Structure 1
Amino acid sequence: MTQLVHPAQSLLSEFDGFYVEFSEADSRADIVLDRPPFNVVSMKQRDQLRIVLEALDDDARVRVIVLRGAGEHFSSGGDIKGFLEASPERVSKLAWNVAAPARCSKPVIAANRGYCFGVGFELSLACDFRIATDTTLYALPEQKLGQIPGSGGSARLQKMVGIGRTKDIVMRSRRIPGAQAYDWGIATEFVGDAELESATDAMVRELLAFSPLAQRTAKKLLNDTEDAPLSIAIELEGHCYSRLRSSHDFREGVEAFHQKRKPLFKGE
């Protein structure tokens, strides 16, 4: 039989502009953007980030994933020159790569400090939770280049804050400070810059205390019903609830509640 070859074999031989930290004891994996000083994201890096997220999603040792940047900035955006060199077909796949955090069945946290522009903002919007600090600036500055966001940024943002505020951000290339992003519901939490790591750690611990099965179910249900009519969303919620009733984790949760102890969830 002919040996099968997959693009991931070469793409994962050496990470371009990021690295991965894994703590089996904490059931946590960190994807750290690391191309100083602004952690610009290359075209190859987008492909690699998608594949790494898919691999971590398939790794039973990982319960929570954190996406963060090394240094003072999360990311100032993508490699602008790369857009001119890429083929139309390659560019058309950008949104699929950036949507990897949303497709991941596990909780994904974006820890945002400093610049969070362009694809850096779009990656963060695709995560489940965003923690901003008093140094964070969010922006989709593509209008300054004669372009628009191309990896889901304006679409995701409109779902979060409405068309008026999205036009204000996209059409004016406005920079939104962390405090304002929190007020608008873009950021899940807002902390002092020195507290970002401890706030991220606390959120990871909080998420780890829940049933992995219930977490996966909740994320998929909420993603799948985002655009659904209310009646359909309620119907799907009922089916998911019914399936979880027969799980080990639900029985364990109920028994632990009555026995006044911490539950020991298995994700089954």
Structure 2
Amino acid sequence: MSHLSHPAHTLLEKLDGFSVIIDAERERADIVLERPPFNIISMAQRDQLRLVFESLDENPAVRVIVLRAVGEHFSSGGDIRGFLDATPEHVSKLAWNIAAPARCSKPVIAANRGFCFGVGFEISLACDFRIVSETSQYALPEQKLGQIPGSGGSARLQKMVGITRTKDVVMRSRRVPGQQAYDWGIATMCVPDGDLEKATDALVEELRAFSPIAQRTAKKLLNDTEDSTLAIAIELEGHCYSRLRSSDDFREGVEAFHQKRKPDFKGS
């Protein structure tokens, strides 16, 4: 029998413009954009980012994933010339790649500072938590290129802030500062620039303390029911609740509560 092969095996041999750091002791993986000063995201990098999220999702040593960047800007967006060089079929896959953080079953935190434009904003919107520095500026500037956001940006933003604010951002290519992003409900929290790493670390540790299976269930339930009717959402919530009812972690949580001790969750 011949050995199976897949392009993904070679695609991850040399990461393009980013690195991955796995800290097994802290059950944490960091995906770090590393193409300063603006951390522009190339076409090949989008494919690699998707594969990395899929790989980390299967890694038992990782509980929480952090998406961050070096320097004063998270990312000014994608490689503009790359859009003209890519085939229409390839371009149509961009949104699937950038949605990888949302498909990932584990909690994903985006730590944003400075420019967070275009695909940089879009991949942050696909994460579960967005911690922004006061220096952050979110934008979808594609109208300036005669285009529209192509990786889920306008769609995700409209779900979060409504059609009026989304038109204001998309149709005017308007920048949204960090504090306003928090006020609008785009960002989870807004912190002074010097506190971004500390706030990110604290959230990682907070999330690690919960049951992994309960966290994964909550994330998938919320993602799956975002577009559903209230009745279906309640029905699915009930099914997820009953599934967790038989988990080891739920039993441990109840016993720890009654024994007034910290629970020791195993993820089963």
TM tier, smaller: over 0.9
The aligned counterpart of 1:26 is: 26
* 1:102 maps onto 2:88 in alignment: no
* Structure 2, gaps ≥5 residues long: none
1:124-139, aligned counterparts within 5 Å?
124-139=124-139
Summarize deviations over 1:181-219 as a string: whole Å, max 9, x none. Answer: 000000000000000000000000110010000000000
Summarize deviations over 1:106-155 as a string: whole Å, max 9, x none. Answer: 00000000100000000000000000111000000000000000000000
The aligned counterpart of 1:178 is: 178
Partner Cα distance (1:6, 1:167) in 2: 41
1:87-166, aligned counterparts within 5 Å?
87-166=87-166
Structure 2 residue identity aligned to 1:63: R
The aligned counterpart of 2:167 is: 167
Partner Cα distance (1:134, 1:235) in 2: 40
Partner Cα distance (1:163, 1:256) in 2: 45
Partner Cα distance (1:243, 1:38) in 2: 45
CA shift for structure 1 position 91: 0.1
Structure 1 residue identity aligned to 2:251: R
The aligned counterpart of 2:3 is: 3
DSSP-derived class of the 1:25 partner: helix
Query: Percentage identity across aligned positions?
Result: 77
DSSP-derived class of the 1:131 partner: strand
Structure 2 residue identity aligned to 1:173: S
1:213-252, aligned counterparts within 5 Å?
213-252=213-252
CA shift for structure 1 position 3: 2.9
Partner Cα distance (1:13, 1:132) in 2: 31
CA shift for structure 1 position 95: 0.2
DSSP-derived class of the 1:196 partner: helix
Structure 2 residue identity aligned to 1:187: A
The aligned counterpart of 2:61 is: 61
* Structure-1-length-normalised TM-score: 0.99
Partner Cα distance (2:48, 2:203) in 1: 26
Partner Cα distance (1:249, 1:201) in 2: 24
CA shift for structure 1 position 36: 1.1
Partner Cα distance (1:5, 1:248) in 2: 38
1:42-57, aligned counterparts within 5 Å?
42-57=42-57
1:254-265, aligned counterparts within 5 Å?
254-265=254-265
DSSP-derived class of the 1:30 partner: strand
CA shift for structure 1 position 10: 1.4
CA shift for structure 1 position 4: 2.1
Structure 2 residue identity aligned to 1:152: G
Structure 1 residue identity aligned to 2:22: F
CA shift for structure 1 position 8: 0.7
- Pairs aligned (count): 268
Cα RMSD between the aligned structures?
Answer: 0.5
The aligned counterpart of 1:77 is: 77
* Structure-2-length-normalised TM-score: 0.99
* Structure 1, gaps ≥5 residues long: none
DSSP-derived class of the 2:162 partner: helix
